[in-house]
Amino acid sequence: MSDERQAQIPPLAEEDAPVAGVDLGQAEAFSLGRGLPARDLRREAEESDHERNEKFKRHFDKIGICALYVLAGAMLLSGGAWFWHIVTPWHFLSVEQLAHLQNLLTGGVLVSVGTSYLKKRLT
């Protein structure tokens, strides 16, 4: 966009500034009406895009961490139930339940998923 074209765009008053959830056309008119050069508008757009991407990454990391804690808690509870079944004289789990629980606790799938996530975060 040329400087002549920018000079023809009338600036918007502050009360006309875009608000969250308002028309994107109004937001664009407000940005152009501030009289910034095209490279500054491009830089602002890149910064906004970067901030959105970072916000998504932070949100996804929080979800991953919560899932890790839930999984660790479930594993601890399952391990506690298995240990209690082995230690006590009365065995409250059936043979099928015990086999399923042992497969779950000794399975390498959960360990590898947790390890790969932690490796990614620590490096």
CB 29 within 8 A of CB 12: yes
pLDDT at 90: 85
CB 10 within 8 A of CB 33: yes
For tokens 């139930």, what's the residue?
A: 81
Q: Quote the pTM value.
A: 0.53
Domain boundaries, the chain: 63-122
Tell me the average confidence (pLDDT) per consecutive run of 10 residues in the chain, 123 residues long.
56 57 69 74 83 89 90 87 90 89 76 76 71
- Predicted confidence at residue 62, as pLDDT, reads 92
Q: What is the pLDDT of residues 94-109, one digit of tens each?
A: 989 988 888 888 776 6
CA dist 112 and 26 (Å) reads 50
